[in-house]
């Protein structure tokens, strides 16, 4: 598992960890049943407080992305059941609000934001245009 943080970002460190773990799960870099490194190991690698990593892991457990097995550690959960359309839209709205706030704080234009989102999706090989088109056809 590869993680990196950006100190001084408008996004708190624990949130950066949460988002990166979720992204790695979405891309298939972390699969169901894969173990996660210990809180201490991640904290040492990122040079952050262990409580910060514990907070991120706690959120990932509460959201169902990870499961805790006492005495064994944390593991990537089995695929979560699909969210309702209402919950999916709510979560996307929250994520977009954070993304747009960060773009504004760095002085990015709408075009730069669109380009960055497209480049990230292409690089991470997620949410390709064809995926979106297939999704749109399924819900129509």
Q: What are the chain's domains?
A: 13-76 (1.10.10.10), 85-139 (no CATH)
Q: How far is CA 58 from CA 17, 51, 94, in A?
A: 11, 10, 19
pLDDT at 138 over 70: no
Say what percent of the chain tops pLDDT 90: 56
DSSP string, 59-110: HHHHTTSEEEETTTEEEEPSPPPPPPHHHHHHHHHHHHHHHHHHHHHTT--H
> pTM of whole model > 0.75?
no
Nearest to 53 by CA among 26, 13, 89, 22: 13
- Residue 12: how many other CB atoms lie within 10 Å: 13
pLDDT, greater one: 54 or 64: 54
Helix (H, G, I), strand (E, B) or coil at 5: coil
Q: pLDDT tens across 88-125, in order?
A: 899 889 889 988 998 999 999 999 999 998 988 887 77
CA atoms within 13 A on the CB side of 16: 17
Structure confidence at residue 34 (pLDDT): 96
């Amino acid at each position: 598992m590869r993680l990196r943080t950006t100190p001084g970002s408008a996004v708190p460190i624990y949130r950066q960890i949460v988002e990166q773990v979720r992204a790695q799960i979405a891309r298939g870099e972390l699969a169901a049943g894969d173990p996660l490194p210990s809180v201490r190991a991640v904290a040492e690698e990122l040079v952050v407080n262990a409580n910060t990593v514990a907070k991120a892991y706690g959120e990932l457990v509460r959201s169902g992305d990870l499961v805790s097995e006492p005495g064994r550690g944390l593991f990537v959960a089995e695929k979560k059941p699909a969210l309702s359309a209402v919950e999916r839209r709510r979560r996307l709205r929250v994520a977009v609000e954070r993304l747009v706030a960060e773009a504004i704080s760095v002085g990015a234009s709408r075009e730069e934001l669109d380009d960055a989102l497209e480049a990230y999706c292409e690089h991470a090989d997620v949410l390709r245009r064809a995926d979106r088109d297939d999704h749109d056809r399924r819900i129509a």
